[in-house]
């Protein structure tokens, strides 16, 4: 399979890939699948042997060319190069795969893509992932800037329990702009100098996937205001 360097990093996240492979094999039972943001096409290639038809959508022209080469051996995958929000699909989907997640849905295309594409999902269809839980913790940490890597901090001191402040169901309209007032109860002494936001992905109603190095890494945010 041909890959970009970024896609190679994603494919090294075996925990994430194993979870998606399991859910795709459980959920795809014939019918039509959309794979939004297909990248190198690995998820489409897993869905294709189980589906009647797969529509793989990729916005980046270079990545789309790589995906097309990877799809050459599949007769039931149609690659669509373009923005998922602006595409007219010739038939409705039984399964929509939309694996473009980032921590707490920040700086990603997933929300507008799902809000635009949801009308193409059949009444009893499924979305993979089907939702997320967003949680926050108070920290005493030593970095004065936002980061996504645990290693950039020297063992941040957790000062509160994890509070799940938001639950999002992907089968329902998602409001792209939100504002929260969150009260965290401190369980230890120290100086609160930042927060950690962590997204837990609900791949299926009974399958919760936590953060992994390349998929929903926690966001450390400083300073508090």
DSSP secondary structure, 57-106, as one string: EES-HHHHHHHHHHTTT-SSEEEEES-GGGPPPSS-EEEEEE----GGGT
pLDDT at 105 over 70: no
Q: How many other CB atoms are found less than 10 A from the CB of residue 143? A: 15
pLDDT at 158: 93
pLDDT at 21 over 90: yes
pLDDT at 94: 98
Percent of the chain with pLDDT over 70: 88
Q: CA 126, CA 10: separation in Å to the nearest integer?
A: 24
Q: CA 204, CA 125: separation in Å to the nearest integer?
A: 12
Identify the H or E element spanning 129: none
Q: Is the four-CA dihedral 96, 83, 80, 211 of positive or negative sign?
A: negative
Where b means 16+ CB within 10 Å and e means fewer, 20-37 reads beebbeebbeebbbbbbb
Where b means 16+ CB within 10 Å and e means fewer, 109-119 reads bbbebbbebbe
- Per the prediction, the chain carries an average pLDDT of 87
DSSP state of 156: P
> What's the whole-number mean pLDDT along residues 98-108?
60
Domains of the chain by range and CATH? Answer: 5-130 (3.40.50.150), 132-221 (no CATH)
pLDDT at 4: 55
- If pLDDT is split at 50, 70 and 90, which confidence band does 109 have? confident
């Amino acid at each position: 399979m041909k890959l970009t360097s970024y896609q190679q990093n994603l494919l090294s996240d075996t925990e994430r890939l194993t979870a998606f492979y399991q859910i795709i094999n459980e959920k795809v039972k014939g019918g039509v699948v959309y794979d939004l943001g297909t990248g190198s096409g690995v998820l489409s290639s897993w869905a294709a042997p189980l589906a009647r038809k797969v529509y793989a959508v990729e916005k980046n022209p270079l990545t789309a060319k790589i995906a097309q080469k990877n799809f050459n051996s599949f007769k039931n995958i149609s690659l669509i190069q373009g923005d998922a929000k602006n595409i007219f699909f010739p038939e409705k989907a039984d399964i929509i795969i939309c694996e473009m997640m980032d921590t707490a849905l920040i700086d990603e295309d997933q929300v507008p893509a799902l809000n635009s594409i949801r009308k193409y999902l059949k009444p009893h269809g499924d979305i993979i992932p089907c939702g997320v839980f967003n949680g926050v913790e108070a920290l005493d940490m030593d970095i004065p800037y936002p980061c996504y890597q645990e290693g950039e901090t020297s063992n941040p001191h957790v000062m509160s329990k994890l509070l799940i402040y938001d639950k999002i169901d992907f089968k329902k309209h998602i409001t792209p702009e939100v504002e929260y007032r969150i009260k965290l109860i401190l369980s230890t002494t120290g100086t609160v100098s930042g927060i950690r936001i962590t997204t837990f992905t609900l791949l299926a109603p009974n399958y919760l996937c936590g953060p992994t190095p390349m998929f929903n890494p926690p966001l450390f945010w400083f300073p508090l205001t």
